[in-house]
Structure 1
Amino acid sequence: MAEKSAARGYLQKADKKAQSSGGWFTSSSTKYEEAGDLYQQAANAFKLEKLFKEAGDAFAREAECRELCKEENEAANAWWNASKAYKRGFPDLAIQALTQTIVHLTRSGRFRQAADREKEIGQIYLQESNDLRKACESYVRAGEWYAQEDATATANACFKDAADLHADLGEYPQAISRYEQVADHSLGSALTKYSVKEYWLRAGLCALAMNDTVTAKRNMQKYSNQDVTFSSTREAKFVNALVEAFENGDQDAFTAAVYEFDQVTKLDNWKTSILLKIKKEIGEELRLT
């Protein structure tokens, strides 16, 4: 109880300081600086008690005091601390706090840090509320900020995550566009060129998920023109085998191609899911004919 009393004590002092009229020799700025320090102490004491909602609330009150003092960096940090406390069971409040953090970071031109926080928002939407749409939007926004700060690899990772989510949402043209964007950025570097075949594979699967073998074949040819080594890769041969099986309405050939690829390169959950959708479409086509 002693630690809890300490937290409540700091909170009461902070409230009293923030609400005080000050004096002849105390500016309002000084008053809010001192109140902000007390709210921060209260928040840390609440964290010791594992009272994370109360800790987040206290950090938020600190942030408001920092804002009244025009302390952009301190306010951004306080909102971020609030979000970290809120993450322990209060995802909606964590997103609100991160959004406030981003306001201050972008206002002061700290777009790399803003991208980090926006990516956190995307992760919360995905992991806590399974809101694929909002998660996708956050990953795209974070990727754009990383890109303008020349953090190309981190930007590409965000755009790739956004592409996966577009596909999960059934937005295959947007997914293909994002995969191709990441592949184009990766082609120019010896360090990232090896990953291009993976992005093109995913783009090829998205075209098949659209029941569009014409686009799938045209894109595979386009990718081979961009990188002459691509046509000889397992990924390209895999997509081409799937296209042939799809056009022939041959589920057995489709299954065999998937099995053969999986024996060497284990399929992840995303690929497994989209391949099941494509195989189902072959079945639908067979029933229609």
Structure 2
Amino acid sequence: MSNKERDDAFKLLEKANKKAASSAGWFSSASTKYEEAGDLFQQAANVFKLLKMFKEAGDAFSREAECREKCSETSEASNAWWNASKAYKRGFPDLAIQALNQTIQHLVKGGRFRQAADREKEIAQIYLQETNDLQRACDSFLRAGEWYAGEDATATANQCYKDAADLCADMEQFPQAISLYERVADHSLGSNLTKYSVKEYWLKALLCAIAMQDIVTARRAAQKYVSQDNAFSSTREFKFANAIIEAVDAGDIEAFTGAVFEFDQITKLDNWKTAILLKIKKGIQDEPGLT
């Protein structure tokens, strides 16, 4: 980055600020003034972005967005806020979320719910990956899922619901997690393309019920799932869940460990299953002989 390039970027920014603050002349309107200022802020933002000055780029895109709003260029304003969020993502997650929320407001007002869902999912991922705010990430995944569902984007909606369910389980909000896994499973049963994944959702729901130390609910849920799809009873997932239910009910750590080891030999346990199985194991150790 040369000093000249940096200076040029700040000169563009200064020019944009002066244009936005100026009074309209005899032959121009306030709308024209803000259009021209918006163009200058956009130019400055793009130069800052090339110079990898991402905070300055985000700030300039935000100022562009405000100018677009003042001259009722709502589509351009939405896009400018989105560009601001992309710049802010490089180290400024809170500002990125604020910019995305501004984008979403414009998209929702314009009835562009599919695009609003895309942006809401971005917010969820920032909360999850950058700020580790699981509850807000979960809320954003649910909101995105509802918007996707309303636009008949069922597969994408289900992915959001599944991500929300995983987070609910991580936060030990097990009833909500079970409800979401069952919702995704119900949708997936109706398609040959997604039916194969139902056993995974039902296994997760059953593990959540077991983690609640509610063996009666777990057994009833297992029976319900078999009644929805009889093939589930012959899957490794059903047999594994059933073995865990029996081990927990008996307070038998050895049986629990054996079932986990056997399942892991063929289907490697992922981080989510490992975490919830550790919670279940702790429950056996704390309260043996659950009935």
TM-based fold match above 0.5: yes
Look up the match of 1:50. Answer: 52
Look up the match of 1:245. Answer: 247
- 1:5-24 equivalences in 2 (<5 Å): 5-24=7-26
Look up the match of 2:81. Answer: 79
* Worse overlay, 20-29 or 268-277: 20-29
Structure 2: 5+ residue runs without aligned partners?
none
Answer whether contact 2:144 2:160 (CA < 8 A) is retained. Answer: yes
Q: Secondary structure at the match of 2:230?
A: coil
Q: Secondary structure at the match of 1:170?
A: coil
Look up the match of 2:124. Answer: 122
* Amino acid paired to 1:274: I
The TM-score, its normalising length taken from structure 2, stands at 0.98
- 1:36-115 equivalences in 2 (<5 Å): 36-115=38-117
Residues 161-207 of structure 1, C-alpha deviations (whole Å, 9 max, x = no match): 00001111111000000000000010000000000000000000000
* Amino acid paired to 2:57: A
**Distance of 1:5 and 1:109 partners within structure 2:** 41
Q: After TM superposition, give the deviation of residue 49 of structure 1 in Å.
A: 1.4
The TM-score, its normalising length taken from structure 1, stands at 0.98
- 1:110-189 equivalences in 2 (<5 Å): 110-189=112-191
Look up the match of 2:226. Answer: 224
Structure 1: 5+ residue runs without aligned partners?
none
**Distance of 2:27 and 2:181 partners within structure 1:** 61
Residues 113-165 of structure 1, C-alpha deviations (whole Å, 9 max, x = no match): 00000000000111111100000000000000000000000000000000001
CA RMSD, Structure 1 to Structure 2 (Å):
1.2
Q: What is the percentage of aligned positions where both structures have the same residue?
A: 73
**Distance of 1:263 and 1:138 partners within structure 2:** 36
**Distance of 2:223 and 2:286 partners within structure 1:** 27
How many aligned positions are there?
A: 289
Q: After TM superposition, give the deviation of residue 72 of structure 1 in Å.
A: 1.1
Deviating above 6 A after TM superposition, structure 1's stretches of 4 or more consecutive aligned residues are none
**Distance of 1:189 and 1:3 partners within structure 2:** 56
Q: Secondary structure at the match of 1:256?
A: helix
**Distance of 2:278 and 2:179 partners within structure 1:** 22
**Distance of 1:174 and 1:287 partners within structure 2:** 26
* Amino acid paired to 2:259: A
* Amino acid paired to 1:68: K
Q: After TM superposition, give the deviation of residue 287 of structure 1 in Å.
A: 9.1
Look up the match of 1:211. Answer: 213
Residue from 266, 269, 290 that aligns with 1:267 = 269
Q: After TM superposition, give the deviation of residue 286 of structure 1 in Å.
A: 2.7
**Distance of 1:285 and 1:21 partners within structure 2:** 75
